[in-house]
Structure 1
Amino acid sequence: MPDGWGGLDTEVLDEVCAKALAEHSCPSVSIGVAEGDELVLARAYGLADIAADRPATTRTAYGLASVTKAFTATAVCLAADDGLLDLDAPIPGTFAGTAPTVRQVLQHRGGFPAFYNFHYGPGPLPIDIGDYRALVREPGTDFEYSNIGYAALGSLLESVTGRRLGDLLRERIFEPLGLRSFGYGPAYDGPAPVAQRYSAGGRPYPTCFSAHSAAGAGWASAGDVALFARRSAGLLTPATAAAGYDAVAISEHLGYGFGRIVSRGAGPLIRSHGGGMGGIAAMMIEVPERDLSVAVLANSTSKAARDAVVNHLMAVLAPGFRAEQVNPMTEQVRPMALAAGEWAGEISTVEGDIPLRITVLPEGRVEIALDGAPAVTAPAGASQRWDLRVSAPLQLPTADARLNSPHLALELRTDQGGLVGRAVAFKDGDQEGLLGAYLVHPCVLHSR
């Protein structure tokens, strides 16, 4: 394996990585670059385990968070090629309206809301994913990134194959591709040394459980992730592989296919998926016109070091690359244009309706009063999708939200003189404590 490759100056790369780790207090970062079917560059920097003073190596396995969705989507495509499921058949389950199809769920167009429920203790998960599984829009009508949808795909795969998902991914994807570092589950169960996960403030994370493992419980080395990006399409029939890259547009910059973000417009064609959760910042990128892929993995919740390394690598290896080509969560923001006034209504939760009142004030600020608690004033904005977006340190008074989701975000649009949308209970980062749950609730307000 050459020490440098593709115009990369490894001395400069070493400097960039060392600076990124120091500036962003990131314990370690690992890099893999593949061309064709071969790994052409692998490097690792920093400590995989601070307490043990154990350095990261090119063999170290990292948590991958949502990069796992690319593995799950590939397994769904394999099951389709095997005749075990139909991409255009509805997924199993009971729904109030039309059931989403497998294809729609793969593309995050199944109508499920955003969700995560990270839990760090033994025993059953305290938050039931089923309480948040109701569709929030008609399937196929719009994009919403949803772990609930990929959890449903994982259950479907286990049902039609008779195999546990981790075993299925290992046997049908990683072993045929010659990749040995793969692990799956709340803790790493593979053969490689593993990176301890750390908060943005440098505290170690305990084992993390969730109800959506199919969306984020993968582990692997950077080299194996880069090779997966290059080799995985070869496991599928050409028609199925092409369908996976047929990405429905999310914005002018990108669309979402089957577990892959696909760029649109100017610059080189980029297929990618990122991942982030407690102690994990991962990125997988493929540049098909160059037969090239890149993986950058870090063991910190903060994505800053990961992004600095990605931007350096891509500037050299794929000139014209832009960061917006790999980020499906970016919405074009705009100033809030709602007139001053007051709205009142309810947030619907599994425990019943919770009264909410908001008052739009001058200079883009909003006062929020939740269920008799003292009102809080916060700056507000808007986006392409929402006429009002505001976040405040307000505790939604449900048992689920009280566990570890002390903030409230409102995302609302005007509708026949009222405001409709959602109220989200969440935790704003992990500088203190550990990441909590992200819980979406319907919200309807009327003008007063």
Structure 2
Amino acid sequence: MLGELDDFCTKVLADHGCASVSLAVVERGELVHTRAYGQADVAGRRQATPETVYGLASITKAFTATAVCLAADEGLLDLDVPIPGGYRWTAPTPRQLLQHRGGFPAFYNFHYESGPLPIDIGRYRTLVREPGTDFEYSNIGYHELGRLLEAASGQDLAVFLRERIVEPLGLTSFGFGSVYAGPAPVAQRYAADGRAYATCHSGHPAAGAGWATAGDVALFARTASRLLRSATVEAMYDAVPINEHLGYGLGRIVSRGAGAVVRSHGGGMGGIAAMMIDIPERELSAAVLANSTNKAARDAVVDHLMGALAPGFHSDQLNPITERTRPMALAQGEWAGEISTAEGDIPLWIRIRAGGQVEVRLADGPPVTVSAVASQRWNLRVSAPLQLPTADARLNSPSFGLELSAEQDRLVGRAIAFKDGDRDGWLGAYLVHPCVLRSH
């Protein structure tokens, strides 16, 4: 069944410039297949093995979610009681945060030097919509869950994960933190063009600071539910729809529609492309871990592996796309307003032109003209080569995006400072700021 896998994975690594990939398959709770290909450390010529540990990025959210659900089962917290803190709307509940419906925006603040993080996550812990009303994938929400769990349990998240999940399930390789501190060999992380990454720090470890072998990830996917009450397991996989193919439960993506149900979570950041899959109907789980920012090798291996293990599998059962584009249909005209930042308001002006073109000017800088699109959520979406003039954005977020909805005589939404990939330097921060424009 997997006879062609060796040749296929070797070719995929070469085709996509990926240093290594590791995979594992678990059936009925037992690890039945492990393989690793390529080099875990190119400079050191160290081969990847099934014992090599990889960064998990957002697969960590599944571990954090399981920990939060364990704490709820033990009465340490209530999934439906709003978290502490003052917010624009009613504070979100842990259940809403687990489902990425807590109202927080997308965010990451990756940094590659030791010492305090220069971008404070607290400056971006502002609700952008009423909790419970819509899905938005947010590291801030999982950061809040980590803080809540530590306060409720009196333990560091790393300790709680180790004592309540890792040790009971026998996941001997799992680690948590910016640096892997366990005994196993670690895969060096690489940019899309093959440069070795420096150590990455962030202000939201509960959302992405996990490490493990592919075997332990696959075992976790198949066995984590053993730790929870049956009603909690049912709630974990009762996924609210996010598109026509998928829903998001409590730290798990769940497929919808025809075919066997697939429960999964992916992970991606600088030098990491990871995927965890569980198919309960077949009592089967799998993990594919790669040490490259480019997800192409991971995705090709996942498709090949799952095609052999689960006929009828399709990649739409994994990919939580929520913003499918369509043509922008706003009328021509000029709009002016401001972007709200922690450093004060920044003037913004746009002119909507014919043919889906938009002219954008920030503060007193020169205008640039770019193409615009729309989506089911936004009437206008653009990306422009403009630098948001804040100290946080200047650190490593040189690109600028706008997502705006038409509301009577206003355009309301957000301005985003980000970095488009890591082919130049390292992946930067993703910073969301409220924005309001009025017809000018």
Asked whether the two chains share a fold, i.e. TM above 0.5, the reply is yes
**Residue of structure 2 in register with 1:259 after alignment:** 251
**Residue of structure 1 in register with 2:36 after alignment:** 44
Q: How many residues align?
A: 440
**Residue of structure 1 in register with 2:439 after alignment:** 447
Aligned mate of 1:408, from 400, 409, 419: 400
Alignment of 1:23-422 (within 5 A): 23-422=15-414
**Are the equivalent residues in 2 in contact too, given 1:276–1:303 (CA < 8 A)?**
yes
How far apart, in 2, do the equivalents of 1:168 and 1:332 lie?
Answer: 38
Alignment of 1:7-22 (within 5 A): 7-9=1-3, 12-22=4-14
Q: TM-score, normalised on structure 2? A: 0.99
What SS does structure 2 have at the residue aligned with 1:302? coil
**Are the equivalent residues in 1 in contact too, given 2:103–2:128 (CA < 8 A)?**
yes
**Are the equivalent residues in 1 in contact too, given 2:89–2:131 (CA < 8 A)?**
no
Per-residue deviation, residues 2-59 of structure 1 (Å, max 9, x unmatched): xxxxx322xx111221111111110000001111110111000000001110000001
Mark the runs of 5 or more structure 2 residues left unpaired by the alignment: none
How far apart, in 1, do the equivalents of 2:142 and 2:427 lie?
Answer: 20
**Are the equivalent residues in 1 in contact too, given 2:236–2:252 (CA < 8 A)?**
yes
Per-residue deviation, residues 323-372 of structure 1 (Å, max 9, x unmatched): 12212234221111112111111111111111111111222111111111
**Are the equivalent residues in 2 in contact too, given 1:393–1:406 (CA < 8 A)?**
yes
How far apart, in 2, do the equivalents of 1:29 and 1:372 lie?
Answer: 48
How far apart, in 2, do the equivalents of 1:172 and 1:281 lie?
Answer: 26
How far apart, in 2, do the equivalents of 1:374 and 1:320 lie?
Answer: 52
Output the amino acid matched with 1:428.
D
How far apart, in 1, do the equivalents of 2:217 and 2:346 lie?
Answer: 45
What SS does structure 2 have at the residue aligned with 1:176? helix
Shift of 1:267: 2.7
CA RMSD of aligned residues (A): 0.9
How far apart, in 2, do the equivalents of 1:77 and 1:364 lie?
Answer: 46
How far apart, in 1, do the equivalents of 2:8 and 2:251 lie?
Answer: 30
Identity %: 71
**Are the equivalent residues in 2 in contact too, given 1:268–1:319 (CA < 8 A)?**
no
Shift of 1:94: 2.1
How far apart, in 2, do the equivalents of 1:390 and 1:321 lie?
Answer: 34
How far apart, in 2, do the equivalents of 1:267 and 1:349 lie?
Answer: 46
Output the amino acid matched with 2:169.
L
Shift of 1:191: 1.7
**Residue of structure 2 in register with 1:3 after alignment:** none
Q: TM-score, normalised on structure 1? A: 0.97
How far apart, in 2, do the equivalents of 1:54 and 1:146 lie?
Answer: 35
Per-residue deviation, residues 298-318 of structure 1 (Å, max 9, x unmatched): 000110100010111112212
What SS does structure 2 have at the residue aligned with 1:88? coil
**Are the equivalent residues in 2 in contact too, given 1:39–1:223 (CA < 8 A)?**
yes
**Are the equivalent residues in 1 in contact too, given 2:242–2:322 (CA < 8 A)?**
no
What SS does structure 2 have at the residue aligned with 1:175? helix
